[in-house]
Structure 1
């Protein structure tokens, strides 16, 4: 990993760790009332953090020039996924916004 990429990776990880602490401190009482587990949202956030960290580490190792030829296909897949959310029965509406889950 290049030195610049490593620095960005470390800073991002530190910021996410601070965010994890904030999630726990702001949601522990609510999680205890709703799930009888004050760390419910902390555990959930940690799982997503670990998955994201693994994907970020993988993305840093991939040479972007190797996937540059597939950019149009990847863009088309991304737009298709965004449009599919608007199809009734596929997207989930919460708080006035549509999402996958």
Structure 2
């Protein structure tokens, strides 16, 4: 659009277009930042472990932090506690996520 043509338009319409673009860019930036936070959380979860409590029908299970079979997002433990949990006789290892591999207990 030529400057003369842009000048002939009402000022409010040009400002609205700029504002609309900025809103969209801010929204896009927010979406990218949210995705980055989500991916960073997934990466942190992969470096943690969690214990699924014992139920009347099954033993307690040790899972990797990102295991899909046990979706709880609380009660994460670090590597030292997970190593202790592996040695406990009443805690079994999840066969799907294989938490022993991440612990170096292959």
Does the pair score TM above 0.5? no
Please say which structure displays the higher CA radius of gyration. Answer: 2
- Larger relative contact order, structure 1 or 2 (CA cutoff 8 Å, min sep 6): 2
Normalized per residue, which structure has more strand?
2
Normalized per residue, which structure has more helix?
1
Q: TM-score, normalised by structure 2?
A: 0.29
Q: TM-score, normalised by structure 1?
A: 0.30
